[in-house]
DNA sequence: CGTATTATCCTCGATGATCGAGCATAAAAG
DNA sequence: CTTTTATGCTCGATCATCGAGGATAATACG
């Protein structure tokens, strides 16, 4: 039975892609978008159904004509476990091939002991593996820190040093992906959020520091080792200030709660995100707060303008505190943005849009990254091989 | 004969790609790299030969075994005209599908009257079209200025305003590509220069101002309208200085001959490139010049470090004055580079390499961009259609 | 000089995916 | 109940690739 080894996936990848892009597409619509004949559509969907990859249910009737079916993830189909590690806690979710993660476990942590958190997550993932067996095809982790070669190398936000997150899985029988939270959120915005359809998307998010990613053609530009998108460590800021990351003049330090605290002559806040929210909330009655927010807004907007000059995105999506900062000091923000643009861009400036997926962006992006792997040629070959083994076992 | 319309190019694109990557590859070697069987190789090369796309000549014998053939551009194969418009003049070259342009015309211009230059280039291209007829499949132009939607929108370096370069061709029977010179040089370095083999390459070049591009997987990240790569207009510089581009604090103004002149309290030079060369040449006997170069080196290196943080390239290639500035102030340059890197990057910093293609980078890159079009599925379909028409005419 | 070795090329039948024509089917519209 | 419309299914034709087997053209060696 070497057939499966050689299996190629012409057409099938396209159909699965349509299901991901538009969960619940009808078979007819998917075929139309892919330019497939009805014959090919029949064959492809039949094969995918036989492989437990797709399920077809009668579509709601809309007009006359023979009713078609809706394509959905198969109830016994592959799953991706997604984990989000944040400042204040972590959560774990499961996603079928439609890329819609549903939360399974969420827990707060004291963010002191990285090893303890790793053990907790490992337990949750072990549970999922026991429950879903071979259906669990990948684990995709979003983490608030710099990631390199699948390892967390710097997480000043959480207060962790380099942590080897590969220990959340006992072995490498399931592929493990580690991604930066801002990168994954940007991926999600580009694929199915505020920037759907745009070819080049710049996503920037301010939480503690600033992160982001450039997404080109639906793929994040993550660089050679996966550490791309650390826009917060561009030297847009004060060159005499050393960042926690080790570099000088990082933008990171000019746009978040720590910057607000400095402008207000307050001590560095314990939780800069909460602090920023608090300052933002009182700008209408506190002139000093409003002034600090204006300074931060200018620093943020002029940097964004520079990145627009450099990258020429079709749209910029803003996550985390960024839309709030803009809203709180819109005039200063927009003026600084325009002032930082090259002249030829001023007539029709690139739109800055608030992120559409909010808190779930990173989780959805992690699911997308995991599914990219599972629904690739090799991923599907593995799935088929596993499927044949398990049917062999049953015979 | 609708066959040609439907022609797909499985395998053939791969073989043509190998010929581009390694001009003069043997057929056996190409098949090996592509994982093709000898049967497929025979069929594909035979088809490409019949279509005037490839020529096969006996390969020099190396050992025993049946001798193979070398794959080369067909003598009647498709051509790309490449044009480079620079500060001091322009030149025009022709490239076969091996992507090695050979110069045809070169002329200096007073860079005053853009329309006159456009007419001169149009004449040269008209000449090429008359001589080569349908073999000329694309015109690819490299220009020292910001390009958007195939138009030159800002060329402060040359001293031109927005110029519609589409007038260098009388009609649109041949596709016209316009690209920024630094972008194209970076493309060339990534494909066949100092960064061959690297997946993510950052190319930066200093001439008058600074340009560059990020090349990912052999494709330049040029953004939504083609204006990507204007790294010179990131606000790494003095926020109180307005750049000619219209933005504030551009890096552009800190790294070239104009910056050197400022540091030396000299008036803005007419030809900042020549001025920079002159200053660089006298650093060994002129302390003030050496000091100015050190300041520029620091500004350049710290910006590069920021971009390395943000993009995580595998290698950075430096063109134009950049390697000279680095060489003239190596200690300051390297210290500033390291100081601008995030801590985890310091142990094994991304290498900065001088560009390998020198003056010809942009021209070679333009040829590459043109060939990407010509050797695409649609480009080859067009070629076949044209070929059939001309044989029909002869019958 | 002739044979062995080596590496490649060519031929040919098998495989598998797609396509399109023709027919079957399932709904609404009349 | 028939017509209209949209879709699904079947089946043969086409085409690229693959792999096995044999042919070919060079060197190496006796």
CATH fold of B4-73 reads Arc Repressor Mutant, subunit A (1.10.10)
The H or E element that residue B40 is part of is helix B38-50
Q: Quote helix, strand, coil % in chain B, to nearest 5.
A: 45, 20, 35
Lowest mean pLDDT among A221-230, A259-268, B143-152, B180-189: B143-152
- Measured between alpha carbons, how far is B291 from B268 in angstroms, rounded to an integer? 18
pLDDT tens digits for A173-182?
899 999 999 9
- Measured between alpha carbons, how far is A366 from A363 in angstroms, rounded to an integer? 5
CB atoms within 10 A of CB B345: 26
Give the nucleotide nearest to B38 (CA→C1').
Answer: C9
Q: Which CATH architecture has domain A196-355?
A: 2-Layer Sandwich (3.30)
Question: Going by CATH, does the domain composed of B79-184+366-374 fall within 3.30.420.40?
Answer: yes
- Global pTM? 0.93
- Spell out which residues of B between 62 and 101 contact strand C, using CB within 7 Å: 63-69
Q: Coil, strand, or helix at residue B325? A: helix
Percentage of residues in chain A having pLDDT higher than 70: 95
pLDDT given at position A111: 60
pLDDT given at position B104: 86
Contact B302 A249 (CB under 8 A): yes
Q: Which nucleotides of C are covered by protein (CB under 7 A)?
A: 4-13, 16-22, 24-29
**DSSP per residue, B228-263:** TT-GGGSS-S-TTPBPTTS-BS-GGGGSSHHHHHHH
pLDDT given at position A4: 36
Q: Where in chain A is the domain with CATH 1.10.10.10?
A: 4-73
Q: Which nucleotides of D are covered by protein (CB under 7 A)?
A: 4-12, 15-21, 23-28
Phi-psi region of A149 (alpha: psi -120 to 50; beta: other; left: phi over 0): left
Provide the pLDDT confidence category of residue B370 given band limits of 50, 70 and 90. very high
**CB of B269 closer than 8 Å to CB of B261:** yes
Q: How far is the CA of B69 from the C1' of D22 (A)?
A: 21
- Measured between alpha carbons, how far is A176 from A129 in angstroms, rounded to an integer? 13
What are the residue ranges of helices labelled H in chain A? 3-6, 12-21, 27-34, 38-50, 114-132, 181-192, 257-263, 272-281, 287-311, 322-328, 330-340, 343-346, 361-374, 377-394
| Mean pLDDT, range A96-102, rounded to an integer | 95
pLDDT given at position B1: 30
For residue A238, give both structure tokens. Answer: 């004060």
pLDDT tens digits for A15-50?
999 999 988 899 999 998 988 888 889 989 998 998
Phi-psi region of B248 (alpha: psi -120 to 50; beta: other; left: phi over 0): beta
Predicted confidence (pLDDT) at residue B66 exceeds the cutoff of 70: yes
Q: Give the mutation candidate from A161, A164, A236, A246 for the B interface (greatest B CB count, under 10 A).
A: A246
Contact B221 A231 (CB under 8 A): no
Phi-psi region of A315 (alpha: psi -120 to 50; beta: other; left: phi over 0): beta
For residue A290, give both structure tokens. Answer: 């409003």
Q: Coil, strand, or helix at residue B338? A: helix
Predicted confidence (pLDDT) at residue B158 exceeds the cutoff of 80: no
Those residues with Cβ within 8 angstroms of residue B146's Cβ, 6 or more apart along the chain or in another chain: A342, A344, B152, B153, B154, B155, B180, B227, B230, B245
Q: Where in chain A is the domain with CATH 3.30.420.40?
A: 79-184+366-374, 196-355
- Measured between alpha carbons, how far is B329 from B292 in angstroms, rounded to an integer? 10
Provide the pLDDT confidence category of residue A67 given band limits of 50, 70 and 90. confident
């Amino acid at each position: 039975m070497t057939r499966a080894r050689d299996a190629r996936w012409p057409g099938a990848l396209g159909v699965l892609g349509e299901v991901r892009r538009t969960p619940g597409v009808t078979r007819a619509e998917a075929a139309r978008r892919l330019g497939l004949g009805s014959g090919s559509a029949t064959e492809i969907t039949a094969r995918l159904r036989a492989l437990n990859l797709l399920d077809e249910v009668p579509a709601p009737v809309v007009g006359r004509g023979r009713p078609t079916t809706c394509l959905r993830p198969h109830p016994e189909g592959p799953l991706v476990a997604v984990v989000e590690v944040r400042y204040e806690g972590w959560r774990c979710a499961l996603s079928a091939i439609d890329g819609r993660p549903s939360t399974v476990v969420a827990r707060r942590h004291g963010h002191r002991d990285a090893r303890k958190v790793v053990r907790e997550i490992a337990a949750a993932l072990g549970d999922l593996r026991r429950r879903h067996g071979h259906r669990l095809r990948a684990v995709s982790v979003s983490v608030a820190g710099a990631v390199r070669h699948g390892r967390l190398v710097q997480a000043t936000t959480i207060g962790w040093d380099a942590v080897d997150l590969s220990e959340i899985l006992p072995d490498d029988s399931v592929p493990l992906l580690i991604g930066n939270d801002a990168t994954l959120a940007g991926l999600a915005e580009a694929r199915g959020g505020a920037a759907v359809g745009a070819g080049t998307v710049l996503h920037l998010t301010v939480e503690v520091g600033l992160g982001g990613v450039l997404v080109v053609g639906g793929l994040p530009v993550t660089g050679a080792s996966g550490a791309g998108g650390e826009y917060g460590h561009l030297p847009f800021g004060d060159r005499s200030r050393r960042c926690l990351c080790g570099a000088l003049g990082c933008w990171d330090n000019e746009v978040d709660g720590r910057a607000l605290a400095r402008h207000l002559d307050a001590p560095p806040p314990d939780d800069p995100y909460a602090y920023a929210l608090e300052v933002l909330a009182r700008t209408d009655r506190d002139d000093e707060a409003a002034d600090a927010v204006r300074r931060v807004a200018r620093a943020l907007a002029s940097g964004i303008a520079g990145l627009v000059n450099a990258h020429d995105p079709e749209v910029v999506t803003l996550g985390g505190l960024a839309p709030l900062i803009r809203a709180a000091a819109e005039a200063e923000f927009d003026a600084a943005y325009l002032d930082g643009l090259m002249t030829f861009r001023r007539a029709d400036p690139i739109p800055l849009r608030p992120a559409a997926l909010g808190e779930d962006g990173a989780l959805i992006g992690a699911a997308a990254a995991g599914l990219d792997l599972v629904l690739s040629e090799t991923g599907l070959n593995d799935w088929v091989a596993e499927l044949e083994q398990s049917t062999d076992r049953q015979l």
